[in-house]
Structure 1
């Protein structure tokens, strides 16, 4: 089983445990399962899936696993109660597969702690609504991005990057060294929802993009904001990890989003028609 399949199964386990806690009114436990899920999400969005796999080396056994000392040092965070919950779950669980899931989660927490990323996960979990989807790098052109990504022996995967002001999803498969990137519409749903409510009548106005970028550096969007540049509305997106803002023209971004949705709908309809017709028809 690939590491991607393993993490997918672990995430399903988290969902089932969280739902069970919610149904029983155990709000603190439900919150801790959401916190644990944040570790899996963080590894994915920052392209560290294979790096995590390399750290395992048999750590995810069904015996009582070792817990990183760095997790026990995190007083005042969710880390300590989360580890306690996982160890209690491990002790209470009889099914082998579920024990493996719990051990994998403890290994995941250990990996984040040992690589010094616990504060980042804690911050992301506590302030998720204030952050735009994570992008780990920015490139001025598609060619520049491809040159960088194709030139790395083992690039981060899966992860988002920015090419100009647009999100791209990058993927890499270690098994056969295949890789690629495609346009991903990560912020367009938020743009659509915010414009549907109505753009504020008064927004910061600038003559040039450089002026807008300079102002945003000292007045960062949280994580989105509208500005006008040369009389045209732009959607500013704050990328905290990259210490920059992207600026998307509202009208053209919404048009591209609508075209994308229509293309997806058409593709879905064609696939459904092909499946319903059956082989040989």
Structure 2
């Protein structure tokens, strides 16, 4: 596996360019670069990105086409980082800057503007961690992973109401689904940032699930009350999945923060 820390190194280039009071246009470009790198990681496209860099990324700019909307923003950000790469003060950072440029070109070359736009909306809405699949049981998830020809490396999936990482190494065919605490941490953070106010109240979880299932396109997240307890009602449009997470899941993260 090519060193996945190249994505981290590229994020550090972005962080070093961030400053309070910077022009809004510069902030927008840096945020777009950050999210482009995250998009490749959370959608499990590490190996396709590695292959793209090896076979095509060094050949030049993104494919020509009508520049509008997100595609225009990507082209503008690409020009910014091309100029940055050539500045004398960027000496030593060129490989990491090239990763950012390759991320823009990968998204454009694979025509993923719509998927990337959906991911940006997900991030901007403070929705729960992005996931690529959902399963009721661990055995179902393991069967999916075992039979998948190219598992989404570094992506997250849901098993029940728990978030798991997809660990896959192409060279050895190593596959695992370790549990993580990203969802619990997000709930704890969201409780601090968005004090729970229920959009709807239900006597039972079954009533809440029926209400959520009836929504043709729910909000990415909202608070509801079920038998007096707050839940986060979440919607993942990329996999058309709806979920209810009890706020009590965040208790261990809150205790750790207080300690």
- Alignment TM-score > 0.5, same fold: yes
Distance 1:27 1:258 in 2: 34
| Equivalent in the alignment of 2:102 | 107
Aligned counterpart in structure 2 of residue 38 of structure 1, from 24, 35, 38: 35
Mapped contact 2:84–2:90 kept (Cα < 8 A): no
Deviation readout 1:38-78 (Å, 9 max, x if unpaired): 111000001101111011225455xxx511125x5332432
- 3-state SS of paired residue (1:47): coil
Q: 1:87 to 1:255 in 2, by over 3 A?
A: closer
Deviation readout 1:69-119 (Å, 9 max, x if unpaired): 25x533243212102112212332476642233332222211111212123
| TM-score, normalised by the number of residues in structure 2 | 0.82
Aligned counterpart in structure 1 of residue 62 of structure 2, from 61, 68, 72: 68
Larger Rg: 1
Distance 2:60 2:66 in 1: 15
Distance 1:7 1:53 in 2: 11
Q: 1:97 to 1:194 in 2, by over 3 A?
A: closer
Mapped contact 1:159–1:170 kept (Cα < 8 A): yes
Distance 2:13 2:86 in 1: 16
Q: For 1:191-270, what aligned pairs fall within 5 Å after superposition?
A: 191-195=187-191, 199-200=196-197, 203-217=199-213, 218=215, 220-228=218-226, 232-251=229-248, 253-255=249-251, 257=253, 261=256
Distance 1:187 1:243 in 2: 18
| TM-score, normalised by the number of residues in structure 1 | 0.76
| Equivalent in the alignment of 1:154 | 150
Q: What residue ranges of structure 1 are gaps of 5+ in the alignment?
A: 266-281
| Equivalent in the alignment of 2:50 | 53
| Equivalent in the alignment of 1:145 | 141
Mapped contact 1:204–1:226 kept (Cα < 8 A): yes
- Figure out how many residues of one structure are paired with residues of the other and give that number: 252
Aligned counterpart in structure 1 of residue 75 of structure 2, from 76, 80, 87: 80
Q: Does 1:179 find its partner at 2:172?
A: no
